[in-house]
Amino acid sequence: MISFRAFTAAASTAFVMISAGITPASAQNSTATEKLNAYVGCINSLSERTLDSRTRYFSWAPKSGPTGKERIIYGVYKISGSADCRKNVEAANAMEPHDAALEAAASAYASTASALEPLLKEADEYYTQENYKDDRMAKGRALHPRLVAAWEAFAAADKTLRAATEAINDKRKVEELAAIEAREGRKARYYVEAVMIDAQRLFRAQDTDRPDIEAITKALAAYEATVKSLEEAASADADAKVGSMYVSSAKSVLVTGKQLMRRIRDKVPYTTGDKMMINANSGWMVEGSPQRLLRDYNHLIDAYNRGSRI
């Protein structure tokens, strides 16, 4: 199984675990899976920390750069592992089957991460040692455009590689679902996998800067129907081993998805308290927020990965 994190454009920095099963067809080509695992490994080890570092920096530094007059100066987070990522990408790129676009995306990712690691180390030392008190933030101002450019390059490379790996993941999941249906019909096992596919579609429909209420409503309807079918199939099959935690997590995603849809549809604003929690990375506590949906979606995936598949 392949798992990786996908950056979401929610109000605060957030990530989501996505699982990719290996279909019978893909299992026949272990090198293809090994190749993809190398790319996903880079995302798992570097993306969250790197993007969190940017969020931390801009939580105190103005977009135009630090002045030295900020009330609180947090600095940045360091990252590690870019050398391993680059080595693994180079090895994976040499494997068959070749995919020029995917390999280029992986190389760009490794390159931008490798450029950021020493830069973040330099910035971390500067701010941790409070050297800005000695040079009146001169180096901080000089570092700012370099950090911004490096983060932007990394974010772009991350988005491209993530999209490429997600496309492969999506194709495999659909193939796996079709194989299950061919072998067993639409029983509990089928609906467990279908719930994961529809939950991901719902999450993606809402994880955008400009949510399309029609697309969200359609994704919600499909997801709700699949969750209902799962419950019915599990009840009809005495041998089905669908855990109650999995079903409960699936329903939580549905409830929060509807709350978020209504907030978007009815243009319900966030209160001042809501905004404070969102900005403090506690948005999961706000009803009908992207962060709450993200948390519930992560719980669903955790339940799935712990063995809710039959």
The tens digit of pLDDT for each residue in 96-128 reads: 999 999 999 999 999 999 999 999 999 999 999
- Mean pLDDT, to the nearest integer, of 145-163? 97
pTM score: 0.76
Q: Are 39 and 50 in contact (CB under 8 A)?
A: no
Q: pLDDT > 90: what percent of the chain?
A: 75
The tens digit of pLDDT for each residue in 234-274 reads: 888 766 778 888 999 999 999 999 999 999 999 999 999 99
- Selection from 117, 83, 113, 106 nearest residue 36 by Cα: 106
Q: Are 127 and 73 in contact (CB under 8 A)?
A: yes
Mean pLDDT of the chain: 88
Q: Are 217 and 254 in contact (CB under 8 A)?
A: no
Confidence class for position 309, pLDDT limits 50, 70, 90: low
Confidence class for position 153, pLDDT limits 50, 70, 90: very high
- Is the bond into 97 cis (omega within 30 degrees of 0)? yes
Does the pLDDT at position 5 exceed 50? no
DSSP state of 268: P
Domain boundaries, the chain: 1-184, 185-310
Return the minimum-mean-pLDDT range out of 3-12, 23-32, 50-59, 168-177: 3-12
AA letter at 293: L
The tens digit of pLDDT for each residue in 18-45 reads: 444 434 444 446 788 899 999 999 999 9
Does the pLDDT at position 17 exceed 90? no
